[in-house]
Structure 1
Amino acid sequence: MKRLLLTCVLAITTAFCFADTVSINHFVVKENPFAKDEVAIVAVDTAGTIQEKVNGLFTFSVNGFSEQLTFDKGTAFYRHKMEKSMFVFARHENDSGTHSMLYYVYRHDSKLSPVKISWIVLIAIPLGLILLGYLFKRLIIIAAIIFCIFLYFNHSNGLSIPTFFQSVIDGLKGVFS
């Protein structure tokens, strides 16, 4: 009888020990409605609805700097002021893998408008310029000038070459996984 009782108690306690872990697999960057010139990172599902069960401390890498973001009902506030338009590369790693997003945060009239940049666009622009220069030999110089302007725009707004390639590699990993 003691063994049966001990087995039942052990089975019941182990059932309570395995809690469902909350993980962030998808997120978006939005303007912070409570602070001027700041953004918020919102945990969403694949349909784009906020996951309100996400609460607690999560580690994100934002533009290469590791940040501990506190989520409350699926929303965390990134407490750094954005004084000009810039790229924001947010990356989160959990048990199911690494999830990253590249956004261009456009600043206008003291408002911030985040625009998601796909890794396909990051590849398509340089490849299109190379193809244009290859097809029309007379446009090689124009394509090279546009490519230099593209590189300068990316660099001046915070998108470095390693971040560029990391975004493309993370996008390719997402396609093949």
Structure 2
Amino acid sequence: MKRILFVCLMSFFTGSFAFADTVSINHFMVKENPFAESEIAIVATDSLNNIREDVSGRFSFTLNGFQQEMVFDKGTAFYRHKIERSTFLYVKHVNDSGTHSLLYYIYKHDSKLTPIHISWLLLLAIPIGLILLAYIFKRFIIIAIVIFCIFLYFNHHNGLSIPTFFESIFDGLKGVF
């Protein structure tokens, strides 16, 4: 009887320690897909930008406002939509530890894609810098307005809308606090 009780207790305690640990993506980056032309890949990384090969499965991402189920295999998921021209790409992932989002400018040249990470500080610094220059130099007001209009047109023409612009800045500010 003692032996049966001992076996039951041991199986109960070992069963309680055998639960699988959930894998979450807290850092990621966008790279060019090496297997397809004009496509990108999302790579799960750690805080030092090393690829996390333990990430496998389906994870929900939002790319430019569209919900996508990304299938990760050894830390890499492929976005199967062709990118026809240079554009902004806003990638957001929500998990239990919070919202993780990055803004990239995907520069297309020849048949290659070059993802350039755009910091929320840069998005905030350009308009504030133009406003400060216009305030300091009164004659610079017209030039600052023209440069600001060109900045807005470039962003809008390449797929960065005003709501995405502010959402990227607010997500960056949330990450600071």
Pairwise TM-score range, normalised by the shorter structure: over 0.9
Look up the match of 1:56.
57
Does 2:120 correspond to 1:105? no
Map 1:11-160; keep pairs closer than 5 Å.
Answer: 11-16=13-18, 18-160=19-161
* Residues 117-171 of structure 1, C-alpha deviations (whole Å, 9 max, x = no match): 0000000000000001000011101000100100010001010111111111111
Q: Specify the code of the residue in structure 1 equivalent to 2:48.
A: A
Look up the match of 1:173.
174
- Normalising by structure 2, what TM-score? 0.96
Look up the match of 2:9.
7
The alpha carbon displacement at 1:7 in A equals 2.3
SS of the residue 2:115 aligns to: strand
SS of the residue 1:125 aligns to: helix
C-alpha RMSD of matched pairs (Å): 0.9
Q: Distance in 2 between matches of 1:174 and 1:50?
A: 22
Q: Distance in 1 between matches of 2:5 and 2:162?
A: 64
Look up the match of 1:162.
163
Is the deviation greater in 70-79 or in 2-11? Answer: 2-11
SS of the residue 1:134 aligns to: helix
Q: Distance in 2 between matches of 1:36 and 1:140?
A: 44
The alpha carbon displacement at 1:21 in A equals 1.1
* Residues 6-43 of structure 1, C-alpha deviations (whole Å, 9 max, x = no match): 32221111111x21111111000000011110100000
Q: Specify the code of the residue in structure 2 equivalent to 1:62.
A: L
SS of the residue 2:17 aligns to: helix
Gaps of 5+ in 2: none
SS of the residue 1:87 aligns to: strand
Gaps of 5+ in 1: none
Q: Distance in 1 between matches of 2:124 and 2:102?
A: 15
Runs (4+) of structure 1 exceeding 6 A deviation are none
Q: Distance in 2 between matches of 1:57 and 1:131?
A: 46
Report the count of equivalent residues.
175
Q: Distance in 2 between matches of 1:65 and 1:109?
A: 27
Q: Distance in 1 between matches of 2:115 and 2:134?
A: 32
Q: Specify the code of the residue in structure 2 equivalent to 1:92.
A: H
Q: Distance in 2 between matches of 1:51 and 1:162?
A: 32
- Normalising by structure 1, what TM-score? 0.96
